């Protein structure tokens, strides 16, 4: 039986787009679709970067900035408060779990 591939499969197998971009259905490189989970994950990545858990892609070096990490966490908490009752169940769980995780990581990083 011959395996069929879709246009989407072909586009994601070997993306020719630069970092941070994905091909659309016509193959044009565009920014990824803005979704609530993508936004929350972006804030999470920022917090992890400022905690020194993710290296700077340009230099490969890790640096800690607890003030910016705390600001990112506070932003996530504000987002949780302001969106209460307006999220899908999975979005609510994602946000809650990420906040819990980054708060733990923050405490551990500060104690080092």
pLDDT tens per residue, range 37-48: 999 999 999 999
| pLDDT higher than threshold 90 for residue 77 | yes
CA-CA-CA-CA dihedral for 91, 31, 69, 96, to nearest 10: 0
The DSSP symbol for 64 reads -
Which are the contacts of 91, defined by CB distance < 8 A and separation ≥ 6? 36, 37, 40
Are 41 and 73 in a shared domain? Answer: yes
Model confidence at 2, pLDDT cuts 50, 70, 90, reads very low
Q: Give the tens place of pLDDT for each residue, 5-30.
A: 444 444 444 567 877 788 888 888 88
Q: Give the tens place of pLDDT for each residue, 80-97.
A: 999 999 999 999 999 999
Domain carrying residue 25: 1-31
- Residue 46 backbone phi and psi in degrees, to 5: -60, -45
Are 53 and 13 in a shared domain? Answer: no
Are 22 and 62 in a shared domain? Answer: no
Are 12 and 55 in a shared domain? Answer: no
65, 71 contact by CB (below 8 A): no
- Closest of 109, 90, 108, 107 to residue 41, by C-alpha: 90
Which pLDDT score is estimated for 15?
A: 66
Q: Considering the chain, what percentage of its residues have pLDDT values greater than 90?
A: 67
What is the pTM assigned to this prediction?
A: 0.74
Are 54 and 71 in a shared domain? Answer: yes
What's the structural domain count of the chain? 2
């Amino acid at each position: 039986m011959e395996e069929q591939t879709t246009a989407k499969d072909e586009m994601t197998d070997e993306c020719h787009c630069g970092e941070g971009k994905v091909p659309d259905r016509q193959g044009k490189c565009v920014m990824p679709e803005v979704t609530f989970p993508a936004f929350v994950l972006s804030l999470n990545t920022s917090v992890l970067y400022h905690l020194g858990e993710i290296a700077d892609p340009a230099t490969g070096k890790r640096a800690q900035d607890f003030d910016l990490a705390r600001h990112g966490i506070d932003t996530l908490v504000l987002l949780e408060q302001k969106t209460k009752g307006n999220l899908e169940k999975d979005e609510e769980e994602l946000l809650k779990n990420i906040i819990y995780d980054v708060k733990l990581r923050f405490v551990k990083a500060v104690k080092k």
